[in-house]
Structure 1
């Protein structure tokens, strides 16, 4: 039974790190594109109806969120980072749906939502918020 638990823990750790590294890569890549206000990204943001200064805000918060998720400790900050990733990416999906964008525009945000959920779900106990005693 103990061997099964060890295998399960090892599997969960592998799933966590794969999802977390892919999530981090996706958030850093899109955050950089937003921070440098890439032409295509700026055009898409404009098409969605958002002000250009929001690109910088979202780009900075994505970078800070990646740092929060990757560094050890600070589980409450990690929870906020995961929530921020989820809110920004679901916002992106609904924004694309609102202007009837092509389905291919939904792939990136949906992938990042899935990776956020997987990373959050499989995170090790030392990266979780400890609930207050009742």
Structure 2
């Protein structure tokens, strides 16, 4: 096996590990938000957000995970990653602004990092390039 093939295989393995981990995190937080879990309601209240935002974010997270995991639909994948980037960076910033502890902020930081790593390591067939148009 050539060095380039090993490198591509390694990148693909990294991509799938982090993408599945990110997807699991997004789906689990979406479910918690959609069922209006009392701890999540308290978290949203602490951050100064209305409870109805949980339903909006929960639905969008499920749709985003679907877009990222299905084959093709490259533009949709980019939009999903952008949405995850904004939601998770906003969550991290919100926790920092209200002075939350590291333990309350860490889940948002972890999901934000997973989004960035998944996006960065996505294989060529999951990236938009000028040849896709």
> What RMSD over aligned residues (CA atoms) do the two structures have, in Å?
1.3
Partner of 1:32: 31
Give the TM-score normalised by the residue count of structure 1: 0.94
Partner of 2:90: 91
Q: Distance in 2 between matches of 1:64 and 1:26?
A: 14
Partner of 1:131: 130
Partner of 2:3: 4
Using the TM superposition, give the Cα deviation of residue 132 of structure 1 relative to its aligned residue in structure 2, in angstroms. Answer: 6.6
Using the TM superposition, give the Cα deviation of residue 98 of structure 1 relative to its aligned residue in structure 2, in angstroms. Answer: 1.1
Q: Distance in 2 between matches of 1:131 and 1:117?
A: 22
Map 1:34-53 onto structure 2 (within 5 A).
34-53=33-52
Using the TM superposition, give the Cα deviation of residue 130 of structure 1 relative to its aligned residue in structure 2, in angstroms. Answer: 1.8
Q: Distance in 1 between matches of 2:82 and 2:92?
A: 15
Residue by residue, what CA displacement relative to the aligned partner does 1:59-110 show, whole Å, maximum 9, x if unpaired? 0000000000000000111011111111111111111111111111121111
Consecutive unaligned residues of structure 1, counting only runs of 5 or more, are none
How many residue pairs match? The answer is: 132
Map 1:39-118 onto structure 2 (within 5 A).
39-118=38-117
Map 1:12-23 onto structure 2 (within 5 A).
12-23=11-22
Moved over 2 A (4+): none
Consecutive unaligned residues of structure 2, counting only runs of 5 or more, are none
Q: Distance in 2 between matches of 1:96 and 1:113?
A: 13
- Are residues 1:119 and 2:103 paired? no
Give the TM-score normalised by the residue count of structure 2: 0.95
Using the TM superposition, give the Cα deviation of residue 131 of structure 1 relative to its aligned residue in structure 2, in angstroms. Answer: 2.5
